[in-house]
Amino acid sequence: MSTHGDKVFAGAVPRLYETHLVPLIFTAYADDMARRIASRKPRRVLEVAAGTGVLTRALAKALGADVSLVATDLNEGMLSEAKSIGAGRSVTWRQADAMALPFDDGSFDTIVCQFGAMFFPDKAAAFREARRVLAPGGTLAFSVWDRIEDNEFADVVTRSLATRFPGDPPRFLARTPHGYHDRAAIARHLAQAGFTAPATIDTVAERSRAASPDIPALAYCAGTPLRNEIEARDPTGLDAAVRVAADALAERFGRGPIDGKIQAHVVIVDA
């Protein structure tokens, strides 16, 4: 099937993403990334694939007010959600495609991307474009999810939906968010993009916690492009899919507050 919809975060998705998915899996990694970036004392920072701004807000707190911060995203709906929340300080918000950044060569000393690289249709080309707008000696930092088996809620949701749609199971979570976890492939794509320094790749495990199984079920099924796959198979079946996912999570983790493993790679490379 076409994977074009994997990049479409529109309609009700941005609000649900921000409300449910951000605290579930993104906040801890945003705080970690912001600390890593702040320790390098950057002056001109570009964020690519900023989504609803969880990392933007963490960077805004961690960096001095005199540090230039530009946050971009491909999806106008996600960017609008980020802008409506704000960052507590001056941020330049701009719609932009990571594959063709609208900035001059050498415009930034740091480029950061949290959980966006998995969506790039050509990873090496996107990294090459990042390298183009980096100043000599600048830093590219990004995070990607590890394999889905190391991200328990996402794995359970994916397996549960295969029982709901056995003939054509929705595979968005495994295919895209958790589809770019091979460390050798990441290193190869960076080398193809012209980065000659070795990258550091840290594998970071965190915990995902929710007050009930209903929250991650709704977050993943309705607050990501997985929704597009579900509704393509059954235009009125979203609520039923959420219920199937919630029941599977409850069976695995219990019906009260639940706690599951999440894991990601944090990659840093100098130009």
DSSP code per residue over 198-248 = PPEEEEEEEEEEESSTHHHHHHHHHSSTHHHHHHHH-TT-HHHHHHHHHHH
pLDDT band at 79 (very low <50, low <70, confident <90, very high): very high
* For range 40-50, the mean pLDDT: 98
Average pLDDT over all residues of the chain: 95
pLDDT band at 2 (very low <50, low <70, confident <90, very high): very low
Q: Confirm whether 50 is domain-assigned.
A: yes
pLDDT band at 90 (very low <50, low <70, confident <90, very high): very high
Q: Confirm whether 26 is domain-assigned.
A: yes
The Cα–Cα gap between 197 and 213 comes to 43
Q: What is the pTM of this model?
A: 0.94
Q: Confirm whether 60 is domain-assigned.
A: yes
pLDDT band at 8 (very low <50, low <70, confident <90, very high): low
Q: Confirm whether 236 is domain-assigned.
A: no
Q: Confirm whether 76 is domain-assigned.
A: yes
Pair 88, 60: CB distance under 8 Å: yes
Q: Confirm whether 57 is domain-assigned.
A: yes
CATH number of the domain encompassing residue 18: 3.40.50.150
Helix (H), strand (E) at residue 126? helix 123-133
- pLDDT tens digits, 205-256: 999 999 999 999 999 999 999 999 999 999 999 999 999 999 999 999 999 9
Q: Is it the case that residue 72 has pLDDT exceeding 50?
A: yes
Q: Confirm whether 221 is domain-assigned.
A: no
Q: Confirm whether 33 is domain-assigned.
A: yes
Q: Domain range for residue 72?
A: 4-148+171-209+261-270
Dihedral over Cα of 210, 145, 118, 55: its sign: positive
The Cα–Cα gap between 228 and 9 comes to 9
- Reading the block at residue 32, the tokens are 């970690």
Looking at the structure of the chain, the number of domains it has is 1
Backbone φ, ψ for residue 268 (5° rounding): -135, 130
